[in-house]
Amino acid sequence: RWSLDATFNRLRVRALAGVDVLQGQPTDADGPQVLATVSKMSGAPSVAMMKRVHAGKHLAGKFVHIFDFFSLPAGTFELWRLAAILVGEGQSGKSSVIKVPHKDEAMMWLNSKAVELEAQVSSTHRQFLGAGKKEEVLHQAALMHLQLGNLERYCELMCELGEWERAIAVAPAVSLEFWMRLAKAYAQEKVNQNSSRLVEALPWYVAINQVETLANLYINNEQYDEAVVLAQVAAVGGYDDLTSAAI
């Protein structure tokens, strides 16, 4: 069976030893003459590859193109891509291709992956995902935003997933106003789910000092005793020390 495995194994060793595989004649130990004729390949893809190779000033930059062109074992391209970045010749790759990002591109890479995941559950792709798969994808995207420090987007995705309390727990790190907005939305969500059990919404409305809204809800439910208690406490300043904001 015809194979270049032996040749490329020696090619990798020479590259790791810092030998420019495009220069000089190989010794007998280097295997077939293909090592000496890499630069003489004349096909259009080969010519394009060689232009990129010769444009590189450092061996690491050259090896990126050579090892990528010959599709050598998984991880080889990544190795030389990272080496090229270290010597100032690296180029950012697609997030779908990169497996090990350099520290200088880690945030860009992770954000790109999160955006890709969110795109999978967009209106144009949603029909191809089941409910369980959609939740799994959004959880992955939310985790990536959390790792990036994009706390506001993390909270928004957790609310979309119905995990309001996780979002509300993190929201103060964004801002007090953002926390209050989520708390009010969660309280309204509880009312929408079961308007007859306002006890579920009670702590959230009180925490954001929206007792008037809560009292009106009690009145609408004909729960007058609870509404009166709220009004009496408010009348004597019982809620004055609670944080309030225009939300």
Q: What is the pLDDT of residues 78-100, one digit of tens each?
A: 666 666 666 666 655 544 456 66
Q: Let me know the angle formed at the C-alpha of 193 by 189 and 196, rounded to the nearest 5 degrees.
A: 115
The pTM of this model reads 0.59
CB 201 within 8 A of CB 191: yes
At residue 17, does pLDDT exceed 60? no
From residue 149, how far is each of 77, 107, 120, 204 by CA, in Å?
Answer: 30, 10, 22, 26
Length of the chain, please? 247
CB 67 within 8 A of CB 80: yes
Mean pLDDT over all residues of the chain?
74
DSSP letter (8 states) at residue 184: H
User: What pLDDT is recorded for position 37?
Assistant: 46
Which residues lie below 8 Å from residue 234, measured CB to CB, with a gap of 6+?
211, 212, 215
At residue 158, does pLDDT exceed 50? yes
CB 178 within 8 A of CB 247: no
Task: Report the percent of the chain where pLDDT is more than 90.
Answer: 28
User: What pLDDT is recorded for position 115?
Assistant: 81
At residue 36, does pLDDT exceed 50? no
User: What pLDDT is recorded for position 113?
Assistant: 80
Q: Report, as an integer, the average pLDDT of 126-133.
A: 61
At residue 205, does pLDDT exceed 80? yes
The closest alpha carbon to 73, from 8, 118, 144, belongs to 8
